[in-house]
């Protein structure tokens, strides 16, 4: 076998391993977000390799990616564990969201296309029907292109904001949404707030779009703070 053929085979194998790792990462992200792999649980490479029928190479790469997404943390003398939300971490997460998503809404009002606006209107109409069908119970489980916030961030056209909010912080937020008590959700109020935000963006009112987004997220943070206070007093 000549050098050129060996090089091609090596490249093909490397690509296959990378694809396996990406697919595995997606599976592990969803398992952590929905609580199938519980918060605080230890990451066992042998167990996960057996469960997902993969070799250690792609698995270790996937675990590194999960660390990059802050879904896994390494604790000295303990090892890798799934992140556990503390009240402090939640408040920090929402404070960062308020500032960054406010900026994203402002930029979206400047850069959003007519096609994106039509898509967002249709999305909110779909969400309205969904809330009625499930009584709001899973409204906040929407993600990717089905998530209003995700689309607004993408419409900002700011690559750094997109990287921070759609990768680094996004799955942490989804994890909290998915696993938080129903009492901490307000689906109908959130939907109405989304409609006002979209109206401001459609009107190209950058200042109002930012203010409404910040107020929207601040309201969610206040609700969390109230629940934390209640829990501490029980």
Q: Positive or negative CA dihedral for 119, 125, 128, 130? A: negative
Domain ranges of the chain: 3-82, 87-233
Residue whose structure tokens are 């969400």: 127
pLDDT digits (tens, 9 = 90+) for 6-44: 555 454 444 555 677 889 999 999 999 989 999 999 999
Fold of the domain spanning 3-82: Arc Repressor Mutant, subunit A (1.10.10)
Question: Treating both helix axes as pointing N-terminal to C-terminal, what angle do 187-202 and 87-111 enclose, rounded to 10 degrees?
Answer: 30
Rounded CA-CA distance 206/200 in Å is 7
Rounded CA-CA distance 182/136 in Å is 9
Convert 132-161 to b/e letters by CB count within 10 Å (16 or more is b).
eeeebebbbebbeeebbbbbbbbbbebeeb
State the pLDDT at residue 9: 44
Q: What is the assigned CATH class of domain 87-233?
A: mainly alpha
pTM given for the model = 0.79
pLDDT digits (tens, 9 = 90+) for 142-192: 555 568 999 999 999 999 999 999 887 888 888 887 877 655 557 888 899
Statement: residue 122 has pLDDT above 90: yes
């Amino acid at each position: 076998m000549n050098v050129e053929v060996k090089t091609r085979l090596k490249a093909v194998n490397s690509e296959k391993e990378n694809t396996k790792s990406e697919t595995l990462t997606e599976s592990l992200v969803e398992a952590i977000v929905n609580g199938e792999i519980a918060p605080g649980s230890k990451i066992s490479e042998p167990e996960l390799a057996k469960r997902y029928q993969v070799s250690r190479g792609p698995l270790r790469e996937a675990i590194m990616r999960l660390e990059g997404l802050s879904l896994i943390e390494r604790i000295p003398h303990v090892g890798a564990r799934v992140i556990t939300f503390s009240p402090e971490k939640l408040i920090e997460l929402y404070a960062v969201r308020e500032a960054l998503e406010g900026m994203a809404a402002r930029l979206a009002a400047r850069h959003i296309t007519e096609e994106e606006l039509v898509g967002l209107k249709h999305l909110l109409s779909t969400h309205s029907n969904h809330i009625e069908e499930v009584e709001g119970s899973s409204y906040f489980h929407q993600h990717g292109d089905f998530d209003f916030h995700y689309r607004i961030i993408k419409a900002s056209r700011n690559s750094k904001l997109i990287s921070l909010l759609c990768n680094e912080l996004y799955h942490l937020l989804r994890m909290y949404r998915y696993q938080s008590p129903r009492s901490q959700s307000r689906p109908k109020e959130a939907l109405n707030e989304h409609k006002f935000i979209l109206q401001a963006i459609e009107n190209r009112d950058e200042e109002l779009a930012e203010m409404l987004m910040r107020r929207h997220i601040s309201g969610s943070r206040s609700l969390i703070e109230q629940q934390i206070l209640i829990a501490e007093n029980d």
